[in-house]
Chain A
């Protein structure tokens, strides 16, 4: 993952373009999807950038 995106967008939902740059970001998923609905179509991938000290997820319990 792009180091700049990691540094600037930790703990935020982002739409990442193929080159690793951030198309849009928001503090929750609904807000990001709302932003993206108003933008021109783009090939991007939506995820949340984890916090630097976030525990590692290992599954449901």
Chain B
């Protein structure tokens, strides 16, 4: 059975426009976590080998950062700062685009916990955990995600 195709328009998340006035629009998808009905904004970055998120999110994902054993740790530069990031197994739900008559798609992934997070989104999706799960096509206006059939 072919995968389901979900298309998400790029989103202006309030970043200052480029010096020539061009708005900054990011490839984003909405994800859901347990206990919270609202969506978290995730930006897709094909150049990132891993997936990483604000460390404050992990309590809500059931991971006690002070005591849980990470799958591994990796030195990581993110924006202007640098640090070692522990990576944990978690589960997230990808919410379908508005107007789609489908439930969210839940999957397992490895997610790095980055402290002192200063980005305007909560999660960054890269290669291992996103692109190896969802065939993703990004053009100038949209992100097209092939969602596996459960």
Contacts and interface: CB of A to CB of B under 8 A. Distances in A.
- Chain A complexes with chain B: yes
A52 B120 CA distance: 12
B14 A59 contact: no
A28 B56 contact: yes
Contacts of B37: 36, 41-43
Question: For chain B, what secondary structure do more than half of its interface residues adopt (helix, strand, loop), or is it mixed?
Answer: loop
B145 interface: no
Interface residues of B, number: 38
B120 A33 contact: no
Given A29-B56, A60-B78, A46 B38 contact: yes
A37 B59 CA distance: 13
Given A29-B54, A50-B120, A55-B79, A45 B14 contact: no
B106 interface: no
Interface residues of A, number: 31
Interface string A26-52: 001110010011000111111111101
B121 interface: yes
Given A5-B14, A49-B14, A57-B79, A29 B45 contact: no
A54 interface: yes
A33 B24 CA distance: 26
Nearest to A1: B14
B80 interface: yes
